[in-house]
Chains A and B, each alone.
Chain A
Amino acid sequence: MIAVVDYKAGNLTSVMKALHAAGADARVTQDADGVLRAEKIVLPGVGHFAATEFLEKQGLRAAMQAQIAKGIPFLGICVGLQWLFEGSTESPQTLGLDLYKGRCERFSAGLKVPHVGWNALEVRSSRLLRGISSGTFVYYTHSYRAPLTNGTVAVTDYGGPFTAAVEIGNVMGVQFHPEKSGEAGLRILRNFVEL
């Protein structure tokens, strides 16, 4: 069973629909128990970085940390990816999980923000992105970007390169929305489901 963590940051319908289309037994959970019982975890999220504070209050953060330490596959989407970093200038007092180094920052001035639309991936070797070649387009909608790290497995360019996807062991994240990225997105979700 895949636990899709609901932390009241936007709407989960699209993610659930796409996970089901990718063949997953996915269930929405708002409590630590649901996370601790899961075989895999998806942390979606569109909205403000501060919304991740809800995870702390509900004991979801500790539950996810415990599961990640056990090697349970984890996929963060959008703000879910950013939460894997130290933090974000969007809400400086809110702590991320610090599994990837660096802070997320707003796109530089002079660019249209949010970065909305289909942009291309430059892909390095990754289990999550198996079968996805460089040049594949995926759908983005975000105002803050994650820095490049040693766990970066895909890069996208918008006024400079930023982290499109991370993967070290079982801890994965994508800045784009696989649930809204057509066939390519479904393939990535299937890769995760089949891990």
Chain B
Amino acid sequence: MLTKRIIACLDVDAGRVVKGVQFVDIVDAGDPAELARRHAEAGADEIVLLDITATHQGRGTLIETVRKTAKQIFVPFTVGGGIRSVDDAAAVFDAGADKVSINSAAIARPELIEEIGGRFGAQAVIVAIDARRAKESRDPVKGAEVFISGGRRPTGRNVIEWAREAESRGAGEILLTSMDADGTRSGFDCELTALVSEAVQIPVIASGGAGNAQHFADVLLQGKADAALAASIFHFGIADVRELKTEIARCGVPVRLPC
């Protein structure tokens, strides 16, 4: 049976992990390579490295960071942040990434999905969608809107429609972040996730709002997500991914255990 994936996300700024995990005996808590290796060893099904500032000056740093991080891990490795062209993607793949996540650049120029997919395969392209419920709308979930530039700029585009377009252009997966839930630790937006997951045939990764193991179970079951991602999963008294997965399994979710 295909298991649900638990994905550890490293938010990186200028080559350093800025939000994250407190391993007790870690030498350098800001080193992406070290953290990625530890997460993989602890049972993470996948690692995502997100360049949260993605400044032009930071490009070289990012590639070097990707190269060092990729060297350490033998599970799927996704890189996102500031990838605007096939050449940007090619450099990240060459440094050892298996997938790229594109967000603002795909909204600006949706053909980018086809271009990267055409050269590296659909499985290598994740379209990341930052979504906010439309509070004023009659149906705030169905009416949810796509935001870009790290959630700062509204696009006027509907989340469900954009997810469908991304799929038809050949995206391999959708990474759906709820801007409403992000940072709250009060649970994923299960309603929105379920709506998107049912609207497309490709896998949907849920992100934003993780606070405990039950939240993961909820979004993977009721939310119909195929995977769930968190950057700071270990801030709330959970030792590592393995312990998290054990608890999620107890809630009846198929996960990769032992891992």
Residues of A in contact with B (beta carbons under 8 Å apart): 9-11, 13-14, 17-18, 21, 46-48, 111-120, 137, 139-143, 157-158, 179-183, 185-186
Residues of B in contact with A (beta carbons under 8 Å apart): 1-5, 40, 45, 70-71, 74-77, 93-96, 98, 120-124, 172-173, 201-203, 226-227, 256, 259
Residue of B nearest to A16 (CB): B96
Chain B residue contacts of A137, Cβ below 8 A: 3, 256, 259
- A47 adjacent to B120 (CB under 8 Å): yes
CA distance A17 to B172 in the complex (A): 24
Chain A residue contacts of B122, Cβ below 8 A: 114, 143
CA distance A118 to B226 in the complex (A): 11
- A139 adjacent to B120 (CB under 8 Å): no
- A139 adjacent to B76 (CB under 8 Å): yes
Residue of B nearest to A189 (CB): B74
Residue of B nearest to A185 (CB): B74
- A186 adjacent to B226 (CB under 8 Å): no
Residue of A nearest to B172 (CB): A114
26 A-B residue pairs with Cβ-Cβ distance under 8 Å, sorted by A, are A11-B120, A13-B70, A13-B96, A46-B121, A46-B123, A46-B124, A111-B201, A112-B201, A114-B203, A117-B45, A117-B226, A118-B2, A118-B3, A120-B1, A137-B256, A137-B259, A139-B76, A141-B123, A143-B122, A158-B2, A180-B76, A181-B75, A182-B74, A183-B74, A185-B74, A186-B74
Chain A residue contacts of B96, Cβ below 8 A: 13-14, 17
- B1 adjacent to A117 (CB under 8 Å): no
- B173 adjacent to A116 (CB under 8 Å): yes
Q: Name the one of A10, A141, A158, A181 contacting B74, with C-beta atoms under 8 angstroms.
A: A181
- A11 adjacent to B94 (CB under 8 Å): yes
Chain A residue contacts of B45, Cβ below 8 A: 117-118
CA distance A115 to B119 in the complex (A): 20
CA distance A139 to B74 in the complex (A): 10
Chain A residue contacts of B259, Cβ below 8 A: 137, 182
Residue of B nearest to A112 (CB): B203
- B1 adjacent to A157 (CB under 8 Å): yes
Q: Contacts A113-B202, A180-B76; is A47 near B2 (CB within 8 Å)?
A: no
CA distance A10 to B122 in the complex (A): 10
- B1 adjacent to A119 (CB under 8 Å): yes
* Chain A contact residues: helix, strand, loop or mixed: mixed
Residue of A nearest to B45 (CB): A118
**Min distance, Cβ B95 to any Cβ of chain A, angstroms:** 7
Beyond the given A158-B2, A180-B98, please list 16 additional residue pairs across the A-B interface where CB-CB is below 8 A: A11-B93, A11-B124, A13-B94, A14-B70, A14-B77, A14-B96, A17-B70, A46-B123, A117-B227, A118-B5, A118-B45, A137-B3, A142-B123, A157-B1, A180-B76, A182-B75
Chain B residue contacts of A116, Cβ below 8 A: 123, 172-173, 203, 226
Identify the 10 closest CB pairs spanning chains A and B, nearest first.
A47-B121, A141-B123, A11-B93, A118-B256, A137-B256, A46-B121, A119-B2, A13-B96, A116-B203, A118-B3
CA distance A43 to B40 in the complex (A): 26
Residue of B nearest to A140 (CB): B2
Residue of B nearest to A47 (CB): B121
CA distance A10 to B124 in the complex (A): 9
CA distance A140 to B124 in the complex (A): 12
CA distance A98 to B1 in the complex (A): 29
- A180 adjacent to B203 (CB under 8 Å): no
Chain B residue contacts of A113, Cβ below 8 A: 201-202
Q: Name the one of A10, A112, A181 contacting B121, with C-beta atoms under 8 angstroms.
A: A10
**Min distance, Cβ A13 to any Cβ of chain B, angstroms:** 5
- B203 adjacent to A18 (CB under 8 Å): no
Chain A residue contacts of B227, Cβ below 8 A: 117
Chain B residue contacts of A119, Cβ below 8 A: 1-3
Residue of B nearest to A45 (CB): B121
Chain A residue contacts of B70, Cβ below 8 A: 13-14, 17
